[in-house]
Structure 1
Amino acid sequence: MPATDYQGSSVPFASIGRSILSIRRDQVHSMEGNLESASAQDQRLEAFQRMVTENFHDLSSCNPDEFLSLSWISRLLDGFLSCQEEFRAILQSHRFQFAKPPLDRQTSEFFERSVKALDICNAIRDGIEQVRQWRKQLEIVLSALDSRQRTLGEGQFRRAKKALTDLSIGMLEEKEGGSVLAQRNRSFGRNSSKERSVGHFRSLSWSVSRSWSAARQLQAIGNNLNAPRHNDVLATGGLAVLVYTMNTVLLFVMWVLVAAIPCQDRGLQMHFSVPRNFSWAAAVLSLHEKIVEESKKRDRRNSCGLLKEIHQIEKCARHITELADSVHLPLSVDKEKEVRQRVEELGQVCEVLKDGLDPLEHQVRNVFHRIVHSRTEGLDCLGRPHSSE
């Protein structure tokens, strides 16, 4: 589909913030009454499109040093939660319109896509736990080599090298898709002591099996995701545009999480296109291109996650391993200074991970629960059973 065309129509998608809603106003002006409520609906839909645009523009125009960092991912999820909450509120206040064709079908499809996003949230939780385990290995290295009260000797280097070897094996297993944690199923619900004791967890989206694939899950979310037809936009007063926008936001945010955080079968080759005349399209497409380009960089090509801090883990581990393999004891003054410098860099990475991983996991849990609650409320509005939960 050409980027500038409606799906199935020769009419170009003009600026969504103006033309779609101006059509709505033209319809309302031809009717007696209800002008004030229709105008309020127009303004709310415009505000939603503006929120999406501003969120993605902010993420796209960030400082390059912050791109794909823990703090950047946190902002991405904050933006998603804001959009999800506003979408839920609009659906609640226009429930009668959403219960009629074609919105009822389009909205039900969105909620079915959101169920698939729950498994991705669970897989991302596992990935965060994996990074947390890597941080523990780095802290062993830090403890072994950061002793300022004594001269570094063979015992300290041996301990550091063992931790680095364990880290290297763990990251290699993750790259090959064979991590144990990727096969353990996490849940964001309450778990009984019995469940915790056997290490098996179930989520509201069931479990992530050993054959589960993040790439296939993303493909399922994106299947048949098309911009609304011209007639559907007119028939729904612009609400079809709202549903399409939220679908696209859901797909893109899940794709970014899979790109950044270790999880099973992370394949990033998802076909992603949106009509460029959406106000938020330029920022989303720019981010997609930047992330794909990042994944193609020589030092990121085989990474188990594009998160900035994972790249820092790999760099620090490589530098200290090379240094530990080349040292001759007792250390010269220059060599000891170099070791201290590398250890200081490692300490900074550990600090960022210590401060950022728990809040990120909490945010992913919030995304999971917000999707569940929004879907339950939404299906109630549509008069549909909650059969997929």
Structure 2
Amino acid sequence: MELQSSSATFASFSRSLLNLHRDLDDLQQEPAGWIQEQGIDAFQLHVAELFAELSAAGGDDLLSLTWIRKLLDAFLFCQEEFRFILFNNRHLLSRSPMDRLISDFYDRGVKALDLCNAIRDGIEQVRQWEKLMEIVLIALDPRQSFISQGQIRRSEKALIDLAFFIHDEKESSSVTVQRNRSFSLQQRAAGHYRSYSWSVSRSWSAAKQLQAIGNNIYFPRSHEVVATSGLANSVFTMNSLLHFVMWVLVAAIPCQDRGLQAHFSILKSFPWGASVISLHERIMEESKKRERKKSVGLLKEIHQLEKCTLRLLQLTESVEQFPEREEEEMIRQAVLGFGHVYNSMKDDLDLLERQIRHVFHEIVHSRIDGLDCLHKPK
């Protein structure tokens, strides 16, 4: 039932994107003057429609891999339409204040590229968890006729490592993570965790990078809106979306020195403002939940994995020699849930990584095209 609901939502979202692409095709058939006026206004409404659907997600869908991919789809569409608007107003790009506004936007894009790399490293770290999950699933395969003590101990070792990786080392004081230290796993695990942060230096900070992107994003002044024929509003919208999407990725995916205290200058007077503000508030509320404060990421699947891991640890630790029939059945049921999380993560992580790569390249291409228009006005 949940899968059908998710598929229906995704199909609805895809139809929305298709309709908006048709709108964009229609714009290309209209006279240039009409495009300049109507295209800029339509852009705000398109952004509002996309983020209204994202904000309508239920608690079970918000911050899931499927929802994150929808968010990136929405951002990519907005980026595409923004490039189209700039192209059709390229004669304005070299004029003040548009030249400064667009240059600042592309500088923020460069900073976002580092975050894309850090997020891809985070996805690779989660993939390493999959190897530990496979050990557990093989050792405690529910199809086996019985579970031996050796199998339980192999699975328990993998579960302990998983429990360490899922918790933020700086904040965690849980019994499970403390127990890792007594097993002398901390140094080995921490080294393993850092070995996949090759795209950024050890002093690099996702929180500071987000702050740099968000600095000086301000509402366009009335004279700027007039002087740019409304383009200043479009630039403000893309600045805000870039900042928000990068913030969501940092919130959801493990990355180096992540932090969620970001300031967003968004007014509900913008058609999309209420939806983005609502999403920000809901994600912050999720981050403040007691069971989420110590996690390395707010991704729904990470939370599910944490619960399944701790449940299995509790069950395996209670077994002294051979599990009794009731204990064995409880372990089998817990392993089934554990396997469900494994399957949901395995394929979607690959799809998410491809989308992150796509976002990276689109930011680069948009910057190249924009700077070309900026320095070679037609």
Normalising TM by the smaller chain, what interval? 0.7 to 0.9
1:309 to 279, 301, 306: 301
**Could you tell me how far apart the structure 1 residues matched to 2:238 and 2:311 are?**
43
RMSD in angstroms over aligned alpha carbons? 1.9
> CA-to-partner distance for each residue in 1:62-88, whole Å, 9 max, x for gaps?
122111000000000001110111111
Please name the residue that 2:326 is paired with. Answer: 334
Are 2:120 and 1:125 equivalent residues in the alignment?
yes
Counting only pairs closer than 5 Å after superposition, residues 241-320 of structure 1 correspond to structure 2 as 241-320=233-312
Uncovered stretches (5+) of structure 2, i.e. residues with no partner: 1-29, 173-189
- Runs of 4+ in structure 1 deviating by more than 6 angstroms, as ranges, are none
Matched, 1:99 2:94: yes
How far the C-alpha of 1:331 sits from its partner, in A, is: 2.6
> With structure 1 as the length reference, what TM-score do the two structures score?
0.81
Distance 2:130 2:227 in 1: 54
CA distance in 2, matches of 1:95, 1:299: 50
Bigger mean CA offset, 340-349 vs 84-93: 84-93
Cα distance in 2, alignment partners of residues 273 and 103 from structure 1: 20
Equivalent in the alignment of 1:359: 351
Query: Aligned residues, how many?
Result: 330
What SS does the corresponding residue of 2:73 show, helix, strand or coil?
helix
State the shift of 1:332 in Å: 2.5
Query: In 2, Cα distance between the equivalents of 1:41 and 1:93?
Result: 7
Q: Alpha-carbon deviations, 1:16-70, whole Å to 9, x = none?
A: xxxxxxxxxxxxxxxxxxx953332222112211121111111111122111000
What are the superposed Cα offsets for residues 120-163 of structure 1, whole Å, 9 maximum, x if unpaired? 00000011011111121111101100152331110110110111
Alpha-carbon offset, residue 273 of structure 1: 2.7
CA offsets per residue over residues 174-202 of structure 1, 9 Å max, x none? Answer: 6569665556455xxxxxxxxxxxxxxxx
Q: How does 1:53-92 map to 2 (within 5 A)?
A: 53-92=48-87
Q: TM-score, normalised by structure 2?
A: 0.83
Match of 2:21 in 1: none
Aligned-residue identity in percent: 56
What's the counterpart of residue 373 of structure 1? 365
For 1:339 and 1:164, locate their aligned partners in 2 and report how far apart those are by CA, in whole Å.
13
Match of 2:108 among 109, 113, 138: 113
Equivalent residues of 2:168, 2:294 under 8 A apart: no
User: Which residue matches 1:218?
Assistant: 210
Per the TM alignment, residue 328 of structure 1 is displaced from its structure 2 partner at its CA by: 4.2
Letter in 2 for 1:296: K
2:196 and 2:90 mapped to 1: Cα distance?
A: 39
Unpaired runs of 5+ in structure 1? 1-34, 187-206, 385-389
Q: Distance in 1 between matches of 2:61 and 2:49?
A: 18
Segment of structure 1 superposing worse, 332-341 or 164-173: 164-173
